[in-house]
Amino acid sequence: MSQMNRRRALQLLAALGTTGFAAGCGSDSEADPTANLSPVKIGLVTPQSGGFKSIGDDITNGFQLFLDLHDQRLGGHPVSLLTADEGDDAKSGKAAVDDLLKQGVLALTGVVNSSVMVAIRDTVEQARVPLIGSNASPSSLQSVFYIWRTSYVLDEAGRALGRYLRDKLPANGRVAIIMPENVGSSDVVRGFRQEFGATDPRIADPVTYTNGTPDPRKSTYVADINKALAKRPTAVFCFFAGAAAVEFIKQLREEYSGPVYAPGFLTEGTVLESLKNDGLGIQTALNYSADLNNTSNRVFASSYRKKYQVTPTTYAMASYDAAQVLDQAIRLTGGKPNSQQVNLALGKIGQIDSPRGIWQFNQPRTPQQKWYLREVQRDGQVMSNVLINELATLG
């Protein structure tokens, strides 16, 4: 079976409820060509507490699910998954990476906070150990050789929505842009204005920047929201994630009931559950929806729901794909991979058959991929990010 041993095929089919195929695949006594391959260490960096913990949990779950479906192996090698707490700032994130490098990991993955990704750039490049980042992806991260990302570049979320809203808003419309003061916000705003039209009067008002804390209080955003709403906008464009997204939307809805647009992180995962009715009607752009109808997503989403009892997020999907690209790259290196060989192999793997749809790494080592428009709607007793349409292919 090309690129797929018998056991892997059976596990994927089992996730789809088609284990009846097993009878035609031989017995478990057949020789396994990967049985004697040496173990490898993979380092996973995620926040284990604070406002981004839920994102970190999704990233851990996505990577672990891939291992579960592949005998706890990558490229045929048994995997020892070492975890480290990213914390909530650049200093703690760098310490986590340093600790994993000392333990001799073959590769790194994870990283939620963009400021952490910037801080560890030189450390990773000097160590010559590949990092397959599964979330943080600031556009300022240029000219890297050992850092790859399976998520997105933040300006792409802004670009996808900028193009859409440029055509959707009426000529007399006005957009209030509200962002936390952090590394990622400038990327999102730049991409949004680039596609909307930097001189368009509908987005002429200055950006209202708020406190960038990942753990806001119940009044953190009130003054900034009132300032942004003073000119009576017809729509709000914002960028928040995790606990900050929940508090921002709750405080916004106290003063404003109009249309809200954002990169999809605003309504991902536990955020959507916490928002309840406040989330209804919010439209977001993202590189993934659990509604996507392709074979890879049916395997991934059904297996994820079965194991974790929740709908998978883009964070979990990107981490699952990080494991997938590592699996393919390690397999290409042969029986005794080292970090430099894996890094070179990452550039040779070509198209990835992902739950998000087919994608591939571009020259800056980020995905060339589709972006989708989603809307928060009620699905029975729960809220759901319902896929509306495809927005663009970017990257």
Burial of 341 (0-12, 13-18, 19+ CB in 10 A): middle
What pLDDT, on the 0 to 100 scale, is given for residue 4?
42
Kindly give, in sequence order, each residue whose CB lies less than 8 Å from that of residue 95, ignoring residues fewer than 6 positions away.
Answer: 87
User: What pLDDT band is residue 35 in, cutting at 50, 70 and 90?
Assistant: low
Residue 21 is classified by DSSP as: G
Q: Which residue has the tokens 């851990």?
A: 60
Measured in Å, how far apart are the chain's first and last C-alpha atoms?
32
- pLDDT tens-digit readout, 222-263: 999 999 999 999 999 999 998 999 999 999 999 999 999 999
Mean pLDDT, residues 205-212: 95
pLDDT of 32 higher than 70: no
pLDDT of 309 higher than 80: yes
Task: Give the residues across from 178 on adjacent strands.
Answer: 208, 238
Q: CA-to-CA distance for 301 and 296, rounded, in angstroms?
A: 8
What pLDDT, on the 0 to 100 scale, is given for residue 31?
52
> What percent of the chain is modeled with pLDDT above 70?
91
pLDDT of 146 higher than 90: yes
| Top-confidence residue, 82 or 26 | 82
pLDDT of 384 higher than 60: yes
What pLDDT, on the 0 to 100 scale, is given for residue 183?
80
42-51, 105-114, 181-190, 320-329: which has the minimum mean pLDDT? 181-190
Q: Which residue has the tokens 């993955």?
A: 109
Do the Cβ atoms of 256 and 278 come closer than 8 Å? no
User: What pLDDT band is residue 41 in, cutting at 50, 70 and 90?
Assistant: very high
What pLDDT, on the 0 to 100 scale, is given for residue 202?
97
Phi, psi angles (nearest 5°) of residue 22:
-60, -30
Q: How many CB atoms lie within 10 A of CB 306?
A: 10
Residue 37 is classified by DSSP as: P
Mean pLDDT, residues 198-216: 94
pLDDT of 180 higher than 60: yes
User: Which regions of the chain does DSSP assign to beta strands (E)?
Assistant: 40-46, 73-74, 77-85, 107-110, 131-133, 147-149, 175-180, 208-210, 235-238, 260-263, 283-286, 352-354, 357-361, 367-379, 382-394
User: What pLDDT band is residue 179 in, cutting at 50, 70 and 90?
Assistant: very high
Assessment of whether the complete model's pTM goes beyond 0.75: yes
Angle (CA) 190 193 199, round 5°: 130
Mean pLDDT, residues 43-69: 96
Do the Cβ atoms of 170 and 139 come closer than 8 Å? no
Q: CA-to-CA distance for 342 and 47, rounded, in angstroms?
A: 26
Q: CA-to-CA distance for 14 and 253, rounded, in angstroms?
A: 44
Q: Quick check: helix, strand or coil at residue 244?
A: helix
Mean pLDDT, residues 272-280: 92
User: What pLDDT band is residue 36 in, cutting at 50, 70 and 90?
Assistant: confident
Mean pLDDT, residues 152-173: 94
Q: What is the mean pLDDT of the chain?
A: 91
What pLDDT, on the 0 to 100 scale, is given for residue 28?
45
pLDDT of 5 higher than 50: no
Cα distances (Å, whole numbers) of residue 380 to 8, 156, 259, 383, 384: 35, 32, 23, 8, 9
